[in-house]
């Protein structure tokens, strides 16, 4: 049996960043477990300006231009009225990435910094020990760990196995395609958002010269747009988007990605902690996926270090999450209420107020952030 200080489930940005943050703190025996290499198409190419600082904190190169990525200066939104441009200004600029190559680079950086990667592999049986955990890793073997980290994304597969409950705020999904995009589209350096009766459109020009185009709506409504013809027809009906990027003559059916907001009712427990989307997954309008993952990783590394010393900083970490969620809930409602044209449509009616009933259970009792259009996950 191999002994580790920390075993991390998930080799995405949250998992790799946590491993790198722990290495900076001098923690050496780290294992990262994931099923496979990153998928060829991963949405989440818009990274806000704080990414450069976060990369530097992890000891990584913050000049992403050398990897072929493109500067991202702000957002163009046709939301509740004519298109309006919002620039990052003195915050600097963010980046439009190729998300797959970015995630591959993070894995390579983690390995170069002495982190052991078990990919492909998957977490099997888990057994609590007096000194931590014994785990079976299919494709690797049996390991002992003092701390486990859930960086497994929106499903929070480890936290839920250890007793956390997952709460969803909505059922948002992204229907996404990649298409050729001319430089004169007007999207170079900007992310674009346009609301419509059943949700909203997103587009960004990525380093390959293609555009990622996504229709964002709830899972039940998405059934009307999943075939290529229906998707293209709705695209043609979006005046601002179609003016900048015309839908292809023959549109392939879009790929479907989960994009719902959700949170685990516990961010940490006895010998475990959750980071990134496993802790809190926010609306893509926030553009906070990468910055949230990196901020969580840096905050979690301090908590993990304290656990390894025999202390417990988990309550401080959970308080950070509560503060973030409290702000997010109110900013989310305020931003969706700006669009007033379709109050009777299901998508918009569902976002007209704070969550109630079972979906909100745990939030009000434990009052628990956002880049892009809404705001950004804070560093605690």
**Does residue 151 lie within any of the structural domains?**
no
Distance CA(94)–CA(106), nearest Å, equals 18
Asked if residue 238 belongs to a domain, the reply is yes
129 found inside a domain: no
Q: Residue 4: inside a domain, yes or no?
A: no
Q: Tell me, yes or no, whether 354 lies in a domain.
A: no
The Cβ-side half-sphere exposure at 130, using a 13 Å CA radius, reads 0
Task: Name residue 6's beta-bridge partners.
Answer: 30, 147
CA 78-82-83 angle, 5° bins: 50
Could you tell me the CATH number of the domain that includes residue 251?
A: 3.30.9.100
The three-class DSSP label of residue 341 is coil
CA-to-CA distance for 129 and 125, rounded, in angstroms? 13
Which pTM does this prediction carry? 0.91
Q: How many domains does the chain have?
A: 1
Identify whether 223 is part of a domain: yes
Q: Is 228 a member of any domain?
A: yes
Tell me the C-alpha distance between 280 and 173, whole Å: 16
Q: Are 71 and 49 in contact (CB under 8 A)?
A: no
* Domain presence at residue 91: no
Q: Burial, 29: exposed, middle or buried (Cβ in 10 Å; 0-12, 13-18, 19+)?
A: middle
User: One digit per residue, pLDDT tens: the chain, 380 residues?
Assistant: 699 999 999 999 999 999 999 999 999 999 999 988 899 999 999 999 999 999 999 999 999 999 999 999 999 999 999 999 999 988 899 999 999 999 999 999 999 999 999 999 999 999 999 889 999 999 999 999 999 999 999 999 999 999 999 999 999 999 999 999 887 788 899 999 999 999 999 999 999 999 999 999 999 999 999 999 999 999 999 999 999 999 988 888 999 999 999 999 889 999 999 999 999 999 999 888 899 999 999 999 999 999 999 887 778 888 888 888 888 988 999 999 999 999 999 999 999 886 654 444 443 333 333 334 443 444 33
Q: 193 is in which domain, residue-wise?
A: 172-258
């Amino acid at each position: 049996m191999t002994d580790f200080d920390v075993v991390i489930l998930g080799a995405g940005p949250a998992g790799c960043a946590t491993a790198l943050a722990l290495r900076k703190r001098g923690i050496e025996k780290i294992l990262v477990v994931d099923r496979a290499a990153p998928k060829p198409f991963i949405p989440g190419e818009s990274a806000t300006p704080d990414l450069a600082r976060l990369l530097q904190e992890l000891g990584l190169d913050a000049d992403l231009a050398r990897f072929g990525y493109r500067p991202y200066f702000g957002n163009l939104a046709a939301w509740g009225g004519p298109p309006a441009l919002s620039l990052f200004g003195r915050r600097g600029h963010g980046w439009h990435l190729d998300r797959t190559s970015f995630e591959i680079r993070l894995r390579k950086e983690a390995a170069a910094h002495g982190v052991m990667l078990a990919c492909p592999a998957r977490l099997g049986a888990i057994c609590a020990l007096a000194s931590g955990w014994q785990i079976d890793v299919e494709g690797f073997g049996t390991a002992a760990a003092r701390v486990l980290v859930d960086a497994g994304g929106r499903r929070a597969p480890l936290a839920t196995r250890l007793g956390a409950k997952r709460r969803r705020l909505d059922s948002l999904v992204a229907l996404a395609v990649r298409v050729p995009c001319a430089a004169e589209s007007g999207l170079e350096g900007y992310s674009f958002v346009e609301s419509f009766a059943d949700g909203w459109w997103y587009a960004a020009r990525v380093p390959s010269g293609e555009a990622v185009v996504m229709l964002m709506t709830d899972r039940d409504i998405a059934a009307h747009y999943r075939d290529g013809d229906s998707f293209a027809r709705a695209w043609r009906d979006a005046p601002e988007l179609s003016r900048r990027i015309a839908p292809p003559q023959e549109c392939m059916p879009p790929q479907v990605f989960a994009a719902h907001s959700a949170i685990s009712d516990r961010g940490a427990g006895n010998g475990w902690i959750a980071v990134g989307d496993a802790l809190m997954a926010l609306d893509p309008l926030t553009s906070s996926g990468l910055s949230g993952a990196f901020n969580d990783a840096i905050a979690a590394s301090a908590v993990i270090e304290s656990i390894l010393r025999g202390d417990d900083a988990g309550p401080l970490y959970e308080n950070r999450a509560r503060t973030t969620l409290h702000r997010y809930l109110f900013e989310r409602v305020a931003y969706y209420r700006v669009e007033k044209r379709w109050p009777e449509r299901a998508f918009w009616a569902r976002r007209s107020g704070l969550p109630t009933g079972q979906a909100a259970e745990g939030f009000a009792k434990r009052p628990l952030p956002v880049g892009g259009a809404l705001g950004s996950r804070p560093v605690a």
